[in-house]
Amino acid sequence: MRGRDAIAVALRHPDGRIVYATERLDSGFHGSRWARLPFLRGLIVLYETLFVGTRWLVRSATLQAAGSGEEGDEGVELGKGSIALMLGLTLLAGVGIFFLLPLLIASATTSNIQNGLVQHLVEGLIRVGIFLGYLLLIAQAEDVRRVFQYHGAEHMTIHALEAGDPLVVEAVRKYPTAHPRCGTEFLVVVIALSIVAFSLVGRQEPVVMVGSRIALIPVIAAVGYEILKWGAKHRANPIVRAIMYPGILVQMITTRQPTNDMIEVAIVSMEEALKADGETLPAGSGSSPREPLDLSAKPAAGVPSDAAGGASAAADVVGSGGATVTIDPPLPGA
């Protein structure tokens, strides 16, 4: 979970204990005046999300491997250069699959049609199909289903915090797994914006169309962030709620009902994020047992870890604060 200036991560030990760690946000931009400027702030949040999130995913996997007694994984910790390389390769693959591949298919299938709008419509529909197909495909994997359950647990915990309820399993359990500031909704907004933006470019030479898809990605992301913030702020308006509703529908894929022990992990992550920012816990909270995770020690067999995607470390791209790890809702007032 992300607060104003820190994140908290909770992991489930194989023996059932919950361990946690907190760290300050130190991207180099955090807390600067640039981080408060409209449009630019969204890009900074996404940068922090990807960088910090990747680092913690690697840590979580390393700790799990060590806790499971697997050989050769102890003490693995990626430096900034390695994380940047991993992110760069991942982003290249994402741009190719979700932006350039739809363009290639649409250009080939509509080459004989003079109306350029038809190509952009086909391209947009292909992009939507690839996006939904990708989510449905990975959701079949057992580990990913567990991740989606933790995703739901995080949202439910945030709902409880926003309602002022105590952060206990019984209070959190009654809330839905979908949340209006989810990163899934951000992706839906980005896809919708891409259809509009690329249609404005029109049918050009192939080099221009490919270049426009790449160059407009940060612009679309920055605008999408602001739209999501605005949509979350005006969610009570029925028109706004209807417009943003597709994002809630897609969360039927990316969130699942969690088990009680998953909710406990999400609660610990939330409470430690609140503490890291000096916030007061809601009355009745803080009852879940936990132990700090020593990040300075070299992992060895038996190090606290979480089995098969049992880490809770999330915040969202919208709201008052920003995002880390899975781009899920941030803490109020952050």
Instruction: Give the confidence band of 5 by pLDDT, cuts at 50, 70, 90.
Output: confident
Going by their DSSP bridges, the two strands 18-24 and 291-292 should be labelled as: parallel
**Greatest C-alpha distance within the chain:** 66
pLDDT of residue 320: 34
**Average pLDDT of the residues in 29-36:** 77
Say yes or no to pLDDT of 75 above 70.
Answer: no
**Average pLDDT of the residues in 322-334:** 37
Give the contacts of 236 (CB within 8 A, at least 6 positions apart): none
Amino acid at 104: L
**Average pLDDT of the residues in 124-135:** 94
Convert 103-124 to b/e letters by CB count within 10 Å (16 or more is b): beebbeebeeeeeeeebbebbb
- Give this prediction's pTM: 0.80
CA 266 – CA 261 distance, rounded (Å): 9
Instruction: Give the confidence band of 156 by pLDDT, cuts at 50, 70, 90.
Output: very high
Q: Is 130 exposed, middle or buried (0-12, 13-18, 19+ CB in 10 A)?
A: middle
pLDDT one-digit tens code per residue, 218-233? 999 999 999 988 998 8
**Average pLDDT of the residues in 282-291:** 91
Nearest to 189 by CA among 164, 160, 220, 151: 220
CA 79 – CA 140 distance, rounded (Å): 32
Residue 189 and residue 228 in contact, taking contact as beta carbons nearer than 8 Å: yes
Say yes or no to pLDDT of 193 above 90.
Answer: yes
Q: Select the highest-mean-pLDDT range: 7-16, 22-31, 257-266.
A: 257-266
pLDDT one-digit tens code per residue, 231-272? 988 989 999 999 999 999 999 999 999 999 999 999 999 999
Which region among 196-205, 207-216, 265-274, 278-287 has the lowest average model confidence (pLDDT)? 196-205
Which region among 37-51, 117-131, 157-171, 278-292 has the lowest average model confidence (pLDDT)? 37-51
CA 26 – CA 12 distance, rounded (Å): 26
Nearest to 158 by CA among 24, 273, 45: 273
**Average pLDDT of the residues in 131-151:** 94
**Average pLDDT of the residues in 96-114:** 89
What does pLDDT average to over the chain? 82
What percentage of the chain has pLDDT greater than the value 70? 82
CA 101 – CA 40 distance, rounded (Å): 28
pLDDT one-digit tens code per residue, 162-177? 999 999 999 999 999 9
